[in-house]
Amino acid sequence: MGYIWYYETPIGRIGIAETDKAISHILFDGDMSLQEYERKETATIKETARQLKAYFKGQLKEFDVPLLLQGTPFQREAWQALIEIPYGQTCSYKDIAKKIGNPKAVRAVGMANNRNKIPIIIPCHRVIGANGKLVGYAGGLPVKEQLIELEADNACTF
């Protein structure tokens, strides 16, 4: 059984879901249905919300909550590479494909990014097109831009 709770954030209402004491989903306002999840604010969800609040204030650069990565081995490898993109930086799908040792898997990396169920914490918003343009984001491109700007404004550059 999973649990879900909802919070208002600077990017709109989000749902935070947990399964087996690990975060399984971050849902944006337009995609809030996990029918099989019970509405309950658990300790893990509260801690995740606390960390997200600090992140939105520019006070947290790395999350420390348990994650339940539900996907193929390739997807989990791509998501791990996303976690390793430094706060305040961006890279391309091609960069991620190279990092995981499969430089021709650019489209597969894009699909793994698309299937990321834990956005923000697994920072798929930090991945941009090879031409430097913002491309696809579950929360919408304005939210992606807002997250990138938030990090750029709070990144330490020395």
Q: Is residue 88 part of a domain?
A: yes
Q: Is residue 116 part of a domain?
A: yes
The reply to whether 82 and 37 lie within a common domain is no
d(CA 63, CA 75): 20
The reply to whether 125 and 90 lie within a common domain is yes
Structurally, how many domains does the chain consist of? 2
Distances (CA, A) of 23 to 10, 45, 74: 20, 7, 20
Residue 158, pLDDT score: 54
Between 149 and 32, whose confidence is greater?
149
Q: Is residue 64 part of a domain?
A: no
| Confidence (pTM) | 0.90
Q: Is residue 94 part of a domain?
A: yes
Residue 31, pLDDT score: 66
The reply to whether 89 and 47 lie within a common domain is no
The reply to whether 147 and 85 lie within a common domain is yes
Tell me, what CATH number does 119's domain have?
1.10.10.10
The reply to whether 78 and 34 lie within a common domain is no
User: Are 93 and 110 a contacting pair, CB within 8 Å?
Assistant: yes
With a pLDDT cut of 90, the percent of the chain lying above it is 66
Q: Exactly one of 124, 143, 147, 150 is catalytic; name it.
A: 124
Q: pLDDT per residue over 33-60, tens digit each?
A: 677 888 999 999 999 999 999 999 999 9
Residue 157, pLDDT score: 56
Q: What confidence category does residue 136 fall into, taking pLDDT thresholds of 50, 70 and 90?
A: confident
Q: For residue 124, indicate whether it is catalytic.
A: yes
- The token pair that represents 86 in the structure block: 């430094």
Residue 32, pLDDT score: 61
The reply to whether 33 and 93 lie within a common domain is no
Exposed/middle/buried for 104, CB within 10 Å: 0-12, 13-18, 19+? Answer: exposed
The reply to whether 47 and 79 lie within a common domain is no
The reply to whether 150 and 90 lie within a common domain is yes
d(CA 99, CA 69): 19
- Determine the structural domain holding residue 47 and report its residue range: 2-56
Q: pLDDT per residue over 78-113, tens digit each?
A: 999 999 999 999 999 999 999 999 999 999 998 998
Asked whether the predicted pLDDT for residue 66 surpasses 80, the reply is yes
The reply to whether 52 and 86 lie within a common domain is no
Tally of CB atoms within 10 A around 133: 8
Q: Is residue 18 part of a domain?
A: yes
